[in-house]
Amino acid sequence: MKILFASSEAYPLIKTGGLADVAESLPRALCAEGLDARLVLPAYREVLRQFEAPRILGWLDIATAAGRQVARVLEVRHAAFAQPVFLIDAPAHFDRAGGPYQHPDGYDWPDNAERFALFSQAVALLADDALNLGWRPDVVHANDWQTGLVPAYLSQLSEPPRSLFTIHNIAYDCQFDMGTFNHLLMPREWWSMHLGEFYGRFSMLKSGLVFCDVITTVSPTYAEEICTPAYGYGYAAVLQSDCNKLHGILNGIDTETWDPRRDPLLVAHYQLKSPIRPAKRRNREALMERLGASPAARESRDPLIGFVGRLVDQKGVDLLADTIPVALENHALQFAVIGTGHPHLEARLARLAELNPDRVLLHLGYDERMAHLLEAGSDLFVMPSRYEPCGLNQMYSMRYGTPPIVHATGGLADTVIDASEEHLADGLATGFTFEYPEVQDLSTAISRALALHADPKAWMALMKNGMRQDFSWARSAREYIRLYRGGEHPANEKPSNLHP
């Protein structure tokens, strides 16, 4: 079976968040199951600079606002991908400095709708084998709003392949007005409340939802949550109108990149059967050094709570910033925070680091090595996300023997088993969950975690439970394959490593 996997980012070529991790590891897991899964990405400058001589497969003729335009299709090979990767090369849209969605100064590119409409059209043409490559996918798997128009453009083909659309985050949708809609030369009938029109605007995300054959999202709990007004960002009714179309499949993680036994970004390796604490301590020291910590901070034996992530409201960064002073007041502990994002959240964290120089260590930036050192070198990992479709960091942290403290929402609820007395007794506990994203609840969870941390034997058992979890992609890949084939996914059935 041939799958064309369309994504706007993929690690290690270009990454802003978890979608990139999924776009690397899911196609590989599908190939390991015997499928021919190929990735297609925009040829951003950042991606092109990583390849010396991409092969030109051909030229696609695309209708754009500026008239008919030609996009080249390039083919590159990279060790991270089992199959060749297609790049859609449209220099006016993608060959620019900055991120995939944002200007270097941090604001969204004003022509994002146009850029990703072009990308989506190109994907549909590639799926129709417009270049006569002799490669025609059975299924096109699109991801998030950037590829929301892929199922729409596929619907125009005489024999469209099956389409699956994955929601990684329903809060991001890319809406525009009728002027832009006309400018993008979209078929008039798409401006309908039954298709892409959304409260008087056009939504790229809604197009993906209505035109595709199957919708998935990245955890069973998030699949339930987005059908409610509180989490659905206006799309609950669209999803409820065809409940059988939506399936929750938990993301896996790349267990090769994230492996404490051989992760090249760590300074000391460890596993279940080797001494864990000394290796974690060495990684902590390396992390402290990179964070520019004072000697007092480096030598401290206080528990270290880590956070890595985009500094945005979704991640509960404001809640973390409100809770840090309370936790520092009540406990001997340190925080290490790595992230970039909204200037007001960056400023709040910077102020906390300034006020508590030996106890709050901060790196405002994107740093892959530091993220790995933090997962390994911290004692606890905190994710107070207000909502979290899946979340990958909590799975990385469990694998690195760093129990997470999480708000029980979305994929966090599906992957972390609370250290309640009952779950500690039956050996299932892997971390700490709290019910409401409020300072009181997070503070209580931190206190519970520190109380258990004071008992080395109980703590080691908790760490090892997390390290033993199987978060590999194989099981989820098989669930996708069943949906690709048109089979039913047992609705919201929870995999066996979830809450008992």
Which of 236, 310, 362, 239 has its CA nearest to residue 9?
310
Annotate 40-75 with DSSP letters as a single string: EEE--HHHHTT-SSPEEEEEEEEEETTEEEEEEEEE
CB of 218 to ligand GLC, least distance (A): 4
Q: Does 218 bind ligand GLC (CB under 6 A)?
A: yes
Q: Does 338 bind ligand ADP (CB under 6 A)?
A: yes
Q: Of these, 368, 422, 426, 455, which contacts ligand ADP (CB under 6 A)?
A: 368
Lateral strand order in the sheet of 201-203: 175-176, 201-203, 197-198
CA distance 364 to 344: 12
Contact partner, 340, from ligand ADP, ligand GLC, none, Cβ < 5-8 Å per class: ligand ADP
Q: Of these, 8, 18, 235, 430, which contacts ligand ADP (CB under 6 A)?
A: 18
CA distance 110 to 47: 21
Contact partner, 393, from ligand GLC, ligand ADP, none, Cβ < 5-8 Å per class: ligand ADP
CA distance 406 to 412: 6
Q: Of these, 2, 12, 17, 285, which contacts ligand GLC (CB under 6 A)?
A: 17
Question: Which tokens go with 468?
Answer: 């033993």
Cα 460–Cα 466–Cα 470 angle in degrees, nearest 5: 145
Return all residues near 407 (Cβ < 8 A) that are at least 6 apart.
Answer: 316, 383, 384, 385, 386, 388, 433, 434, 435, 436, 437, 441, 442
CB of 22 to ligand GLC, least distance (A): 5
Which of 148, 215, 170, 235 has its CA nearest to residue 389?
170
CB of 315 to ligand GLC, least distance (A): 9
Q: Does 389 bind ligand GLC (CB under 6 A)?
A: yes
CB of 445 to ligand GLC, least distance (A): 19
Q: Of these, 7, 18, 263, 413, which contacts ligand GLC (CB under 6 A)?
A: 18
By beta-carbon proximity to ligand GLC, the closer residue of 270 and 473 is: 473
Q: Does 392 bind ligand GLC (CB under 6 A)?
A: yes
CA distance 445 to 440: 9
Q: Does 437 bind ligand ADP (CB under 6 A)?
A: no
- Region 233-262 residues binding ligand GLC, contact defined as CB under 6 A: 251
DSSP 187: -
CA distance 320 to 317: 5
Q: Does 317 bind ligand GLC (CB under 6 A)?
A: no
Neighbours of 452 (CB within 10 A): 18
CB of 364 to ligand ADP, least distance (A): 8
Q: Of these, 255, 265, 366, 499, which contacts ligand ADP (CB under 6 A)?
A: 366
Residue ranges binding ligand GLC (CB under 6 A): 17-19, 22, 168-169, 218, 251, 388-392, 411
Residue ranges binding ligand ADP (CB under 6 A): 17-19, 21, 308-310, 338-340, 366-368, 371, 390-393
